[in-house]
Amino acid sequence: MNELMPVLVVVFVAALAVLSVMQLALAFGAPWGSLAWGGQHRVLPGRLRVGSGVAPVLYVAFAAVVLDRAGWIDVVAEPVARVGTWVVFGFAALSVIPNALSRSRPERYVGTSVALLLAVTSLVVALGGATT
Protein backbone atom coordinates (compact mmCIF):
# COMPACT_ATOMS: atom_id res chain seq x y z
CA MET A 1 0.00 0.00 0.00
CA ASN A 2 2.94 2.31 0.65
CA GLU A 3 3.67 2.60 -3.09
CA LEU A 4 0.09 3.78 -3.64
CA MET A 5 0.30 6.47 -0.95
CA PRO A 6 1.74 9.22 -3.22
CA VAL A 7 -1.02 8.61 -5.76
CA LEU A 8 -3.68 8.75 -3.05
CA VAL A 9 -2.25 11.99 -1.66
CA VAL A 10 -2.40 13.56 -5.13
CA VAL A 11 -5.97 12.29 -5.62
CA PHE A 12 -6.97 13.74 -2.23
CA VAL A 13 -5.49 17.17 -2.97
CA ALA A 14 -6.86 17.20 -6.53
CA ALA A 15 -10.36 16.39 -5.29
CA LEU A 16 -10.15 19.24 -2.79
CA ALA A 17 -8.92 21.59 -5.53
CA VAL A 18 -11.92 20.70 -7.72
CA LEU A 19 -14.27 21.14 -4.75
CA SER A 20 -12.68 24.52 -4.02
CA VAL A 21 -13.25 25.74 -7.57
CA MET A 22 -16.84 24.50 -7.45
CA GLN A 23 -17.51 26.16 -4.08
CA LEU A 24 -15.99 29.45 -5.21
CA ALA A 25 -18.09 29.35 -8.38
CA LEU A 26 -21.19 28.73 -6.23
CA ALA A 27 -20.20 31.63 -3.98
CA PHE A 28 -20.09 33.89 -7.04
CA GLY A 29 -23.49 32.74 -8.30
CA ALA A 30 -22.84 29.76 -10.58
CA PRO A 31 -26.08 27.82 -11.21
CA TRP A 32 -24.69 24.57 -9.77
CA GLY A 33 -26.66 24.60 -6.55
CA SER A 34 -27.99 21.09 -7.18
CA LEU A 35 -24.50 19.83 -6.29
CA ALA A 36 -24.24 21.38 -2.83
CA TRP A 37 -25.99 22.37 0.38
CA GLY A 38 -28.88 19.96 -0.04
CA GLY A 39 -29.32 20.71 -3.73
CA GLN A 40 -32.48 22.77 -3.18
CA HIS A 41 -31.30 25.91 -4.99
CA ARG A 42 -30.15 26.43 -8.57
CA VAL A 43 -28.28 29.57 -7.50
CA LEU A 44 -27.41 29.68 -3.82
CA PRO A 45 -28.95 32.29 -1.52
CA GLY A 46 -26.66 34.67 0.35
CA ARG A 47 -26.01 32.65 3.50
CA LEU A 48 -25.09 29.54 1.50
CA ARG A 49 -22.87 31.62 -0.78
CA VAL A 50 -20.94 32.69 2.31
CA GLY A 51 -20.58 29.03 3.30
CA SER A 52 -19.34 28.20 -0.18
CA GLY A 53 -16.85 31.06 0.03
CA VAL A 54 -15.49 29.80 3.36
CA ALA A 55 -15.32 26.12 2.35
CA PRO A 56 -12.11 26.46 0.28
CA VAL A 57 -10.30 27.85 3.34
CA LEU A 58 -11.23 24.69 5.19
CA TYR A 59 -10.15 22.58 2.20
CA VAL A 60 -6.73 24.26 2.16
CA ALA A 61 -6.31 23.43 5.85
CA PHE A 62 -7.36 19.82 5.16
CA ALA A 63 -4.85 19.56 2.32
CA ALA A 64 -2.06 21.04 4.43
CA VAL A 65 -2.66 18.60 7.27
CA VAL A 66 -2.77 15.57 4.97
CA LEU A 67 0.27 16.72 2.98
CA ASP A 68 2.14 17.25 6.25
CA ARG A 69 1.14 13.81 7.58
CA ALA A 70 2.29 12.26 4.30
CA GLY A 71 5.67 13.98 4.74
CA TRP A 72 5.37 16.20 1.68
CA ILE A 73 5.45 19.48 3.60
CA ASP A 74 6.29 20.48 7.15
CA VAL A 75 3.89 23.15 8.42
CA VAL A 76 2.61 21.70 11.69
CA ALA A 77 4.07 19.57 14.46
CA GLU A 78 3.88 15.82 13.82
CA PRO A 79 1.30 15.17 16.56
CA VAL A 80 -0.93 17.89 15.09
CA ALA A 81 -0.63 16.36 11.61
CA ARG A 82 -1.34 12.88 12.98
CA VAL A 83 -4.46 13.92 14.91
CA GLY A 84 -5.47 16.41 12.22
CA THR A 85 -5.49 13.75 9.54
CA TRP A 86 -7.88 11.67 11.66
CA VAL A 87 -10.08 14.76 12.04
CA VAL A 88 -10.03 15.24 8.26
CA PHE A 89 -10.96 11.58 7.82
CA GLY A 90 -13.80 11.94 10.31
CA PHE A 91 -15.13 15.02 8.57
CA ALA A 92 -14.98 13.32 5.17
CA ALA A 93 -16.54 10.12 6.46
CA LEU A 94 -19.36 11.98 8.20
CA SER A 95 -20.01 14.08 5.09
CA VAL A 96 -20.92 10.89 3.23
CA ILE A 97 -24.18 10.74 5.23
CA PRO A 98 -25.82 14.06 4.26
CA ASN A 99 -24.63 13.66 0.67
CA ALA A 100 -26.10 10.16 0.46
CA LEU A 101 -29.38 11.39 1.96
CA SER A 102 -29.71 14.49 -0.21
CA ARG A 103 -32.95 14.98 -2.13
CA SER A 104 -30.83 16.17 -5.03
CA ARG A 105 -29.81 13.30 -7.32
CA PRO A 106 -26.66 15.13 -8.55
CA GLU A 107 -25.56 15.80 -4.98
CA ARG A 108 -26.36 12.23 -3.96
CA TYR A 109 -24.26 10.70 -6.71
CA VAL A 110 -21.46 13.21 -7.11
CA GLY A 111 -21.24 14.43 -3.52
CA THR A 112 -21.36 10.96 -2.01
CA SER A 113 -18.70 9.71 -4.43
CA VAL A 114 -16.37 12.61 -3.69
CA ALA A 115 -16.93 12.31 0.07
CA LEU A 116 -16.12 8.59 -0.07
CA LEU A 117 -13.02 9.31 -2.14
CA LEU A 118 -11.84 11.89 0.39
CA ALA A 119 -12.60 9.57 3.30
CA VAL A 120 -10.72 6.61 1.84
CA THR A 121 -7.68 8.59 0.75
CA SER A 122 -7.39 10.47 4.06
CA LEU A 123 -7.83 7.19 5.97
CA VAL A 124 -4.93 5.62 4.10
CA VAL A 125 -2.73 8.62 4.88
CA ALA A 126 -3.86 8.64 8.52
CA LEU A 127 -2.97 4.97 8.84
CA GLY A 128 0.24 5.13 6.84
CA GLY A 129 1.91 8.36 7.82
CA ALA A 130 4.90 9.79 6.00
CA THR A 131 5.83 8.54 2.54
CA THR A 132 9.26 10.12 2.47
- In this predicted structure, the answer to whether residue 1 has a pLDDT above a threshold of 70 is no
Mean pLDDT on 58-79:
96
**Chain segment 99-122, per-residue pLDDT in tens:** 999 999 999 999 999 999 999 999
Q: Measured in Å, how far apart are the chain's first and last C-alpha atoms?
A: 14
- The alpha-carbon radius of gyration of the chain (Å, integer) is 15
CA 40 to chain centroid: 21
The pTM (predicted TM-score) of the whole model is 0.90
Predicted confidence (pLDDT) per residue in 84-97, tens digit: 999 999 999 999 99
- The pLDDT score that the predictor gives to residue 4 is 85
Per-residue pLDDT band for 130 (boundaries 50, 70, 90) equals low
Number of domains into which the chain is organized:
1
Q: What is the pLDDT of residue 3?
A: 83
The whole-number pLDDT of residue 46 equals 93
Residue 36 Cα distances to 23, 26, 58, angstroms:
8, 9, 16
How far is residue 68's CA from residue 98's CA, in Å, rounded to a whole number? 28
Instruction: Return the minimum-mean-pLDDT range out of 3-7, 50-54, 76-80.
Output: 3-7
Closest CA to 128 of 75, 89, 77, 76: 89
**Structure letter (DSSP) for residue 75:** -
CB 77 within 8 A of CB 8: no
In 75-101, which positions are buried (b, 16+ CB within 10 angstroms) versus exposed (e)? ebeeeebeebbbebbeebbebbeebee
Note down the domain range covering 27.
5-128
Q: What is the pLDDT of residue 83?
A: 96
Q: Does the pLDDT value for residue 132 go beyond 70?
A: no
Average pLDDT, the chain: 94
